[in-house]
Chain A
Amino acid sequence: MRQYMIRRLLQIIPTLIGISIIVFAISAMVPGDYITAQNNPNMSKEKAAQLRQIYGLDKPVVERYFVWAGNMLKGNLGDSLSHKQPVTKVMNNYVWNSFIIAFCTLVLSWLIAVFAGVFSAKFQYSLFDKIVTLLIFICMSLPSFFIGLLLIKLFALEFKMFPVGGMTTAGINAHGWAHIVDVAKHMFLPTLVLTMLSTGSLTRYFRTSMLEVIRQDYIRTARAKGLKERTVIFKHALRNALLPAITLLGFELPALFGGAIILERVFVWPGIGQVYLESINMRDYPFMLGFTIFIAVLTLLGNLLSDVLYGVADPRIRLK
């Protein structure tokens, strides 16, 4: 097992080098840089040249790559050009806001999906199954900004139950419990929308794998020896039905930190998604590259993690 882990970790290195080259090459090929993206009409040619020299944008692409990659090895992602702060600091400012929403969504949508999936499978083609299927397809097919705006209209403007957007109420400077309640109120609507969107596919996934499992012989055996139906479903069937889901869980890791661009705009949530998109528009390369690599590393780790967990959960494929 340890050997396998080490081997997998070592494999990450060439993969990362490949990713960094591709990402850097794409960013270098896109027309424009931070100076042109600013569209400052008063920028004289001399001033632009001076800025490019300060930012090192006047050097050849290959040299820039090695400077950037070298700094990154030392843990230095550079300074964001538009925030004028270290990239790591900017990431730290925003990424946790994205994380709490993504984490709550993850927990909620998995809980709902597991239960909805299991019962839909258990009572296949029943009225319950049909209603669940209809509901999740509705949730999945509505565009997120539409549901978001609709919920704002209903819950924020008509019923005045929740604030329109943001993460805290401006100017209350709450601490401790009051602060948590305030944030919870603000994050309710965005979390609701994200959960609605992601629960759908998960439910279908669990329903299918559950359907497969409950037709298997060992389930019939379990029933035959007189076990309670609840034990059969939740202990014997569910455990096996959840195995493929471990792969999905691995993919959730980068999603936890990636941010949700559209919803962050709709609910003015101070997440990283908007900042990332803006860095692409503004050609803020240090931030754009730094964050892309960060997400790439998380994706690779997520993959590794799901492989390892798979082995832990399923003795059949456990590595010797």
Chain B
Amino acid sequence: MRKRMSLLLVMMLLSFSVLAACGGSKTAEPATTGETVTEPAKPADETTPQPEPAKEATPAGSEGLYEAADMSLNPAPAANRKDTLIVGMTSPKGVFNPLYGETTYDKYVFDVIFDYFLQVKGDGTYENSLADSIDVSPDGLKYTFHLKPGVKYTDGSPVTVKDYAFALKVLHDASYDGPIDILSFKVKGGQDYHDGKAKDISGIKIIDDNTIEIEVTEPTAYTRDTLGTVPFIPEAYYGKGYKQGDLEYIKALHDKPLGSGPYILKSFTPGQEADLEANPNYFKGAPKIKNLIYKATTDETKLAMLQSGEIDMDHVTVNQDNVDELQGMGFLDVNIFPTNGYGYVAFNFKEKKFQDQKVRQALVYGLNRKEIVEGVYGKFADVINIPQSKVSWAYTNEGIEPYDFNMDTAKKLLDDAGWKVGADGIREKDGEKFKINFSATADNPVVDALLPIMTKNYKELGIDIAAETLDFNAIMDKKDKGDFDMFFAAWGLTPDPDSTVYITKGAQNDVGYSNKTVDEWSDKGKKELNFDKRKEDYKALYQELNKDLPAIFMYQRRDMWAINGRVNGLEITPYKDFIYSLYTAELE
């Protein structure tokens, strides 16, 4: 659960205003490419734990796959495209190198060109892809990857573990400026190579062409998966001209990728389209769709392009209007699923009043979250009480307090905490009035819905609440300086529940929250190698977070793909992008 502070704009705003939507790549779609996506570790052959159906009652029509009603309505351009799938998305940058690509859209392209030892599954766990098997030493320090024999790159040269080792070398190079933070993997000798003190990385041992052993200095539950998602890039192609400390040459190869994946890049026209062709020798079997085209779309026109058949699928913002319009077209499958992330209201823990657990609980009981969330997203979001996606294996609703809106409980908690109603109706304690200055983001629909309700609720509680409206960057600036009371923001989630958001002095704990119990369970969860025990650790962690409330947990909303009904066999879940099942998809 390494999380991602997404821009507020990003979480919901794109289609609301043309200018806001112009923020192009800031759309921060869930995963930055090459991100150290961290997954639960488990022996490779163990059966995958299914995510428990831990869903609360979900309103009808707000989630799931809705099949096209009437394929006869399919527009001619789409119906006549027999061997070509056109995917609409924001234009990629043309950085088609899995070590360097930074946007989700570049990832959509390069992840069908390159292969990894492991590949994500629908429930967020990993399965072997290029790996035949993976051995982990009992202490979790040594990882032996066995490569499937006989796999070839699309130029005909064989895939060997040397290419994998080369990718690790590039990542450790001092001049590497891509997004992957390889030094956090703690590969033995990696720091020395980065600093130029060593010519090789001592923790990488190539046993033969198909076997490699990686040694790390610090084991975690997800080391196996992070190592398994380092790409194979052919050294003969990408390593020509490599000198330690100088990777400048590799940039020229970004738009000429060479990998072993299901598709081959044929051409790329910046701002327009990327054309790919099936790799007939793909080791999992040749893709059934011969041509794959990524076409640039914008929020303004994606619905029209779906309707005219110019594109077959696109990612569309979830709201009632869009869902109605897409379903009204009749020939589109609509796939709505929970977003990997959640909205929250932060407290400033440097302030004494917020350090009191009772006060925080009172502020949650005393806030009508349901009304706010329904006001913004209708049925397409749920109020949450723990910082985890309801489809995660780590999710629990055992022993979780739902904090249903209750003024009396809230008032009683504040009374107990020593905040007594003063003569002017405002609560006070030790001579300090209970005042909250809410830092509100401009042009944010959630904040717009939240403020009036929060003001009304908290006034009734006897809290003096004021709001100042600021640009998002300005609020983040205030956050870094600790100069705020409360603000609204959103976190993205990764499949693995490990996170630094709520641990003491965690890299992403930017509000000064500290709780020993939380630290303990987080640390246990990070290091526990047994899956079932790990699950228990996170259950305990979430129960504590639910009780202690490091923030007001608000909602988890939905994402949506609209897909032409003639496309079959794509598997899309919150964890698994459509690209990973493209090679099995078919066109009617």
Which residue of A45, A51, A277 is within 8 Å of B507 (Cβ)? A45
- A residues 20-62 with Cβ under 8 Å of B? 31-32, 37-47, 51, 54-55
Which residue of B81, B271, B300 is within 8 Å of A97 (Cβ)? B271
A274 close to B (CB within 8 Å): yes
Kindly list chain B residues whose C-beta atoms are within 8 Å of the C-beta of A167.
Answer: 271-272
A6 close to B (CB within 8 Å): no
B21 close to A (CB within 8 Å): yes
**CB nearest to B252 among chain A residues:** A85
Kindly list chain A residues whose C-beta atoms are within 8 Å of the C-beta of B21.
Answer: 265
A178 close to B (CB within 8 Å): no
- A residues 166-190 with Cβ under 8 Å of B? 166-171, 173
Contact assessment for B301 and A152 in the assembled complex, using a CB-CB cutoff below 8 Å: yes
Contact assessment for A157 and B271 in the assembled complex, using a CB-CB cutoff below 8 Å: no
Contact assessment for A41 and B492 in the assembled complex, using a CB-CB cutoff below 8 Å: yes
A261 close to B (CB within 8 Å): yes
Contact assessment for B6 and A47 in the assembled complex, using a CB-CB cutoff below 8 Å: no
Contact assessment for A39 and B24 in the assembled complex, using a CB-CB cutoff below 8 Å: no
Contact assessment for B296 and A166 in the assembled complex, using a CB-CB cutoff below 8 Å: yes
Kindly list chain B residues whose C-beta atoms are within 8 Å of the C-beta of A277.
Answer: 22, 24
- Could you give, for residues 274-316 of chain A, a 1 whenever the CB lies within 8 Å of some chain B CB and a 0 otherwise? 1101100110000000000000000000000000000000000
Q: Are A157 and B308 also in contact (CB < 8 A) when A40-B4, A271-B271 are?
A: yes
Give the Cβ gap from A168 to chain B, nearest Cβ, in Å: 6
B133 close to A (CB within 8 Å): no
Contact assessment for B304 and A281 in the assembled complex, using a CB-CB cutoff below 8 Å: no
Give the Cβ gap from A263 to chain B, nearest Cβ, in Å: 10
Closest 10 CB pairs of A and B: A270-B271, A278-B24, A41-B4, A93-B270, A47-B181, A164-B304, A170-B295, A54-B177, A265-B298, A165-B301
Kindly list chain B residues whose C-beta atoms are within 8 Å of the C-beta of A13.
Answer: none
Give the Cβ gap from A3 to chain B, nearest Cβ, in Å: 44
Could you tell me which A residues sit within 8 Å of B by CB distance? 31-32, 37-47, 51, 54-55, 79, 82-85, 90, 93-94, 97, 145, 148-149, 152-153, 156-157, 160, 163-171, 173, 261-262, 265-271, 274-275, 277-278, 281-282
B184 close to A (CB within 8 Å): yes
> Considering the chains assembled together, what is the distance between the CA atoms of A282 and B512 in angstroms?
28
Q: Provide 19 A-B residue pairs closer than 8 Å at the C-beta atoms, listed in order of the A residue.
A: A32-B473, A41-B3, A42-B35, A44-B184, A44-B507, A79-B251, A82-B25, A82-B102, A83-B93, A84-B100, A97-B271, A149-B300, A156-B308, A168-B272, A169-B310, A266-B301, A268-B298, A277-B24, A281-B23
> Considering the chains assembled together, what is the distance between the CA atoms of A44 and B184 in angstroms?
9
Give how many B residues have a beta carbon under 8 Å from the other chain's beta carbons. 62
B32 close to A (CB within 8 Å): yes
B275 close to A (CB within 8 Å): yes
Give the Cβ gap from A177 to chain B, nearest Cβ, in Å: 19
Contact assessment for A266 and B300 in the assembled complex, using a CB-CB cutoff below 8 Å: yes
Q: Are A44 and B181 also in contact (CB < 8 A) when A39-B7, A166-B296 are?
A: yes
B297 close to A (CB within 8 Å): yes
> Considering the chains assembled together, what is the distance between the CA atoms of A318 and B32 in angstroms?
60
Contact assessment for A281 and B181 in the assembled complex, using a CB-CB cutoff below 8 Å: no
Contact assessment for A278 and B22 in the assembled complex, using a CB-CB cutoff below 8 Å: yes
> Considering the chains assembled together, what is the distance between the CA atoms of A163 and B307 in angstroms?
11
Contact assessment for B298 and A94 in the assembled complex, using a CB-CB cutoff below 8 Å: no
Which residue of B23, B299, B304 is within 8 Å of A278 (Cβ)? B23
Q: Are A39 and B4 also in contact (CB < 8 A) when A54-B177, A84-B100, A166-B310 are?
A: yes
Give the Cβ gap from A76 to chain B, nearest Cβ, in Å: 13
Give the Cβ gap from B79 to chain A, nearest Cβ, in Å: 14
Contact assessment for B102 and A275 in the assembled complex, using a CB-CB cutoff below 8 Å: no
Contact assessment for B507 and A270 in the assembled complex, using a CB-CB cutoff below 8 Å: no
**CB nearest to A83 among chain B residues:** B93
Which residue of B3, B5, B94 is within 8 Å of A83 (Cβ)? B94
